[in-house]
Chains A and B, each alone.
Chain A
Amino acid sequence: MNALVSEKELEPAGSSEPVAREELLRVDNVSLSFGGVKAITDISFDILKGEIRAIIGPNGAGKTSMLNVINGFYHPQHGTITWQGKVRRKMKPYEAASQGIARTFQNVALFKGMTTLDNIMSGRSLKMNKNFFWQLMWRGPAEREEIEHRKKVEDIIDFLEIQAIRKTPVGRLPYGLQKRVELGRALAMEPDLLLLDEPMAGMNLEEKEDMSRFILDVNQEFGTTIALIEHDMGVVMDLSDRVVVLDYGKKIADGAPEEVQANQNVIDAYLGVSH
């Protein structure tokens, strides 16, 4: 009975049939090593359209490496990545970006000398394509384009409640706000898949709550699929639909938060049982 109620809550108002979620990304048997160090060994999992997928694991488990594989920073030696039904070959980060994968970084990677506004505008790079000539003139089409994208960016700024710091160079902002600006830049790309690498690291409780709310809103209002790495278990259990657990570069569990929480392997990994 309880399960039924919660099932209903998840669904959009007016629909009675559960939505069959299709696969957005699938990782098959991916292995990645640096010289003799194996970062990832034979990992497979999928990310469904519209879900929030958490990737957790102790430090050094290979979580960030996994994100780097997905957005093309690293190229795995073995295995394949299927993105929107197509098997991806070796791909560059900007190609991943142009196909709808946006990300944030563990150690905030913003353009520190630029303002909040310019940082978020840079997320629109791929959407703006008036040619070089018009860019040089900064008249006519290029100017109209700039204005149109600026509107989108202002919407994001409103959404993230960072109006006040619009013109501040981000290097001067406190850490929590920098993380928010970084999320804004990723959102400006209107991605199909948003990769968040520890979006709440180093935040206090209030900031964590704000960030959780933004992540949920992004997922529910824009329908953006999200894959996130996070250490705060409370946050992970609250936010995510499904969780994949890595340890020493291997997948040790995959499933709903409650399942994973009860999994003996996961408990061992976190409590440090000797291998």
Chain B
Amino acid sequence: MLYDIFIDPFVQMYEMPDFFLQVLWEGFVAGILYALIALGFVLIFKASGVFNFAQGIMVVFAGLTLVGLHENGVPAYVALLLTIGVMGVLAYGVERVVMRPLVNQPDIILLMATIGLTYFLIGFGEFVFGGEPKQMITEELGLPTGSTAFEFGERGLVILQHIDIAAAVIAVIMVASLGIFFNKTRIGRALRAVADDHQAALSVGISLNQIWAIVWFAAGLVALATGIMWGARSDVSFALEIVAFKALPVLILGGFTSIPGAIVGGLIIGFGEKIGELYWGGLVGGGIESWLAYIIALIFLLFRPQGLFGERIIERI
């Protein structure tokens, strides 16, 4: 038993390095996708202190809109632009109808409001696009679909899906630009100001309404990117909404307010999950992938309650 836990997995890693590499790659890609979802949560949490329960459904909604438009004869790129427009309208609508009337309400009220929004989007999405899973229009959008196999060692083989590479590249670009945006620009500073203190932000002339609309729009764009990438690997269906909650352990690891944290947290969960499943999962009959992430996050919480990169909790008494 002890041999199975502490020695055998490492022997396997050593004996079949190509398989291990493949596992690492799978973990990396899963991590990137988790990170993208987590990023959407972080954006809204940073600017309004609201945990946006609806981020998952926004991913589905964005994906469905894109595919749905294309199915109705709209060319792929036009559909993409239109979907961006739809996310903009959604952001404006959420700010107008949900956020604005609830300014200064306790966070829990806002959380409830986003749960309400989730069910609204589920119902609305099913009404407009139907409930069946749809195929993502990967090729039409010009995303690569093939795969490349690398020889590794004497008889080893590592296979990289091109779409996964594209996902990684897009994620890196999005994170870098969001990072610069948040830290180096006036609007980014305004976002951080709003996150910190609503009243003070108002008093220096920052409009909460405008900032919230921008943040929800940014979260909508992230949701769209996630929807495309995730949809390309599986299908676009309402089941994706559940997968989005994999972002929770990522957020606990990375901290709710940190963009780099979302990335690193995503990667830790992605790697941990795949490696755990393939090397240790067999010991308990497999299927640990679905809950291992939460265990990792819980253990982590014991040592760093604010997450890896979260803002240090400083309380003056």
| Residue ranges of A at the interface with B (Cβ–Cβ < 8 Å) | 71, 73, 92-94, 97-98, 102-103, 105, 109-114, 118, 121-126, 128, 130, 132, 135-136, 138, 142, 146, 171-172, 185-186, 188-189
B113 in contact (CB, < 8 A): no
Choose the segment among B28-36, B177-185, B243-251, B261-269 that binds chain A (4+ C-beta atoms closer than 8 Å). B177-185
B189 near A125 (CB under 8 angstroms)?
yes
Query: If A122-B189, A135-B187, A138-B180 touch, does A109 touch B199 (CB 8 Å cutoff)?
Result: yes
| Complex Cα spacing A19 to B199, Å | 37
B186 lies within 8 A of A93 (CB): no
**Does A97 contact B202, Cβ atoms closer than 8 Å?**
yes
* Known A125-B189, A135-B187, A146-B186: A112·B203 in contact at CB below 8 Å: no
Which of B166-174, B204-212, B234-242 faces chain A?
A: B204-212
Residues in chain A near residue B197, CB distance under 8 A: 109-112
- 23 pairs, CB–CB < 8 Å, chain A vs chain B: A93-B199, A94-B206, A94-B208, A109-B203, A112-B314, A114-B192, A114-B193, A118-B189, A122-B189, A122-B204, A122-B206, A123-B204, A125-B186, A125-B190, A125-B206, A130-B186, A132-B187, A135-B185, A135-B188, A136-B185, A142-B185, A146-B186, A172-B314
Additional A-B contacts beyond A98-B205, A124-B186 (15; CB < 8 A): A73-B202, A92-B202, A92-B207, A93-B202, A93-B203, A94-B202, A97-B203, A97-B205, A111-B196, A112-B196, A126-B204, A126-B205, A135-B185, A146-B185, A171-B316
B185 touches A109 (CB 8 A): no
Residues A111 and B203 in contact in the complex (CB < 8 Å), given A136-B177, A138-B185, A142-B185: no
Determine how close the nearest CB of chain B comes to the CB of A98; give it in whole angstroms.
5
B165 interface hit (Cβ, 8 Å)? no
Question: CA A193 – CA B207 in complex, angstroms?
Answer: 20
Bound Cα distance from A7 to B188, whole angstroms: 49
Contact present for B314 and A189 (CB under 8 Å): no
| A128 vs B189: C-alpha distance when bound (angstroms) | 12
Knowing A126-B205, A135-B185, the reply to whether A109 touches B200 (Cβ < 8 A) is yes
Q: What is the CA–CA distance of A123 and B189 in the complex, to the nearest angstrom?
A: 10
CB nearest to B192 among chain A residues: A114
Residues from chain B with Cβ under 8 Å of A188 in the complex: 204
Given contacts A73-B199, A105-B199, A122-B193, contact A97 B187 (CB under 8 A): no
Q: Does B311 contact A (CB under 8 A)?
A: yes
10 tightest CB-CB pairs across the interface, nearest first? A97-B205, A109-B200, A111-B196, A93-B202, A126-B205, A135-B185, A128-B186, A94-B207, A122-B193, A94-B205
Q: Is the CB of A136 within 8 A of B181?
A: yes
| Assembled-state Cα–Cα distance A83/B202 (Å) | 19
Which residue among B177, B180, B186, B189 has the maximum number of chain A CB atoms within 10 Å of its CB? B186
Q: Complex formed: what's the CA distance from A164 to B187 in Å?
A: 26
Closest to B205 in A: A97
A147: shortest Cβ distance to chain B, in Å? 12
| Residues A135 and B186 in contact in the complex (CB < 8 Å), given A110-B197, A114-B193, A114-B196 | yes
B208 — which chain A residues lie within 8 A by C-beta? 94
Instruction: Return chain B residues, CB-CB under 8 Å to A112.
Output: 196-197, 314
Which of these, B181, B188, B200, contacts A111 with CB under 8 Å? Answer: B200
